């Protein structure tokens, strides 16, 4: 370990047979996809998730059922239901499982709800991450990788976000909670040499995507002829990242130990809301009914990731174009409704049925 840490290059941790990786938030969108990738390549995975009701509990249960159906061997996939802030529960879990890698995806997500109810973000995101880093330090974890967010760039004046930029102006409690986690990760590295990587995800979409996010909502509503809400004049632009690119970046970060690093994981180019809606119309073959509303407090007008650092140190490259990603996501949506035979993802019809209920 010491030798690896001293190298200037980005060392790839030896993948001797397998790793045992704790994936927090493994019932959620990104966590379940990361867990599936790790299991498929031969690692053992321990999932912890409280399965909260931020969105449908049935979707999360369905994500877990899907993983269990693919990987029925309980010696390779363990699933625990509980709160990462619960000290006794998590101590017991660590004593039993002793994971050496942590992929911390659990958090209360969402910018707008964090303005309504900031306390839950302080609990799950700041207290939860601190608790995990305490355990990581006590149990000699080799690498702690966690989900930060592009929302930390909220107060930035630039539109092309690089990790070297000052991000001391978060504009929502959610963004502030993610920035706080990054600061804590630095502290745990400084105090205990815990290897930590903070991954700033840029709007992630794709099969099994979160139903509270615009990509899922737009595909669902435009497909069903239901009105969509467009905040602002359509010129706001987001760096939308397809789920397989994000999973690739997360796994690359798990396989390389860094002392303390922050990485943008995004597509590296933005798409305007108007172009986004046009593409969904094109691939669903339906016209959108649009209700234009004012910009929302806390929303960021532009997000575009500078991914040069992730490319250099992690070998990360986004490979799925936005149009291809939307095409695949629409195909997944259609398949889940039984209107398309093409195999595009891992969600089942019942999963989608519950997602829409």
Cβ distance to ligand NAD smaller for residue 19 or 108: 108
Nearest to 121 by CA among 101, 107, 134: 107
| Strands (DSSP E) found in the chain | 20-24, 44-49, 77-81, 101-104, 143-149, 196-201, 204-205, 228-231, 237-238, 241-242, 260-265, 271-272, 290-293
Rg (CA), the chain: 19
Min dist CB 337 to ligand NAD, Å, is 21
| Closest residue to ligand NAD: CB criterion | 28
Cβ distance to ligand NAD smaller for residue 147 or 279: 147
Report the alpha-carbon distance of residue 65 to residue 57 in Å, rounded.
Answer: 12
Cβ distance to ligand NAD smaller for residue 18 or 302: 302
Active site residue 80: no
State the catalytic residue, choosing from 80, 174, 205, 316: 174
Spatial CB neighbours of 287, under 8 Å, sequence gap ≥ 6: 222, 281
Tokens matching residue 52? 């909260």
Report the alpha-carbon distance of residue 210 to residue 43 in Å, rounded.
Answer: 25
Min dist CB 66 to ligand NAD, Å, is 13
DSSP one-letter code for 127:
I
Site residues (CB under 6 A) for ligand NAD? 25, 27-31, 48-52, 54, 60, 83-85, 105-109, 124, 128, 147, 149, 201, 203-204, 210
Cβ distance to ligand NAD smaller for residue 165 or 193: 165
Min dist CB 243 to ligand NAD, Å, is 9
Tokens matching residue 123? 């609990």
Min dist CB 17 to ligand NAD, Å, is 28
Cβ distance to ligand NAD smaller for residue 25 or 257: 25
Min dist CB 11 to ligand NAD, Å, is 25
Report the alpha-carbon distance of residue 211 to residue 115 in Å, rounded.
Answer: 19
- From residue 36, how far is each of 5, 163, 317 by CA, in Å? 28, 28, 20
Cβ distance to ligand NAD smaller for residue 18 or 357: 357
Nearest to 61 by CA among 95, 26, 13, 11: 26
Min dist CB 279 to ligand NAD, Å, is 18
Three-state secondary structure call for residue 33: helix
**Which residues are designated catalytic?**
174
């Amino acid at each position: 370990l010491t030798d690896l840490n001293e190298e200037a290059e980005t060392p790839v941790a030896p993948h001797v047979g397998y790793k045992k990786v704790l994936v927090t938030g493994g019932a959620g969108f990104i966590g379940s996809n990361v867990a599936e990738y790790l299991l498929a390549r031969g690692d053992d995975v321990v999932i912890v998730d409280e399965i909260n009701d931020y969105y449908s509990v049935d979707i999360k249960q369905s994500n877990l059922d899907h993983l269990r159906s693919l990987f029925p061997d309980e010696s390779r996939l363990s699933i625990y239901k509980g709160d990462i802030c619960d000290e006794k529960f998590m101590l017991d879990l660590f004593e039993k499982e002793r994971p050496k890698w942590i992929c911390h995806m659990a958090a209360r997500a969402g910018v707008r709800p964090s303005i309504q109810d900031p306390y839950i973000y302080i609990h799950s995101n700041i207290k939860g991450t601190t608790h995990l880093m305490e355990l990581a330090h006590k149990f000699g974890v080799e690498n702690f990788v966690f989900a930060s967010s592009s929302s930390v760039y909220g107060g930035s004046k630039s539109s092309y976000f690089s990790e070297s930029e000052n991000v001391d102006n978060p504009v929502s409690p959610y963004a502030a909670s993610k920035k706080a986690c990054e600061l804590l990760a630095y502290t745990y590295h400084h105090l205990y040499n815990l290897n930590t990587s903070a991954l700033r995800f840029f709007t992630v979409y794709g099969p099994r995507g979160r139903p509270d996010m615009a990509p899922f909502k737009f595909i669902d509503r435009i497909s069903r002829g239901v009105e969509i809400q467009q905040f602002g004049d359509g010129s706001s632009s987001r760096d939308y990242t397809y789920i397989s690119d994000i999973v690739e970046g997360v796994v690359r970060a798990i396989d390389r130990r860094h002392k303390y690093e922050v990485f943008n994981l995004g597509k590296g180019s933005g798409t305007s809301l108007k172009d986004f809606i046009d593409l969904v119309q094109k691939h669903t073959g339906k016209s959108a009914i649009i209700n234009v509303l004012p910009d929302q407090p806390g929303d960021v007008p532009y997000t575009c990731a500078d991914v040069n650092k992730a490319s250099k140190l992690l070998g990360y490259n986004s490979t799925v174009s936005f149009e291809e990603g939307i095409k695949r996501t629409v195909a997944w949506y259609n398949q889940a409704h039984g209107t398309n035979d093409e195999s595009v993802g891992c969600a089942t019809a019942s999963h989608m049925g519950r997602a829409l209920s």
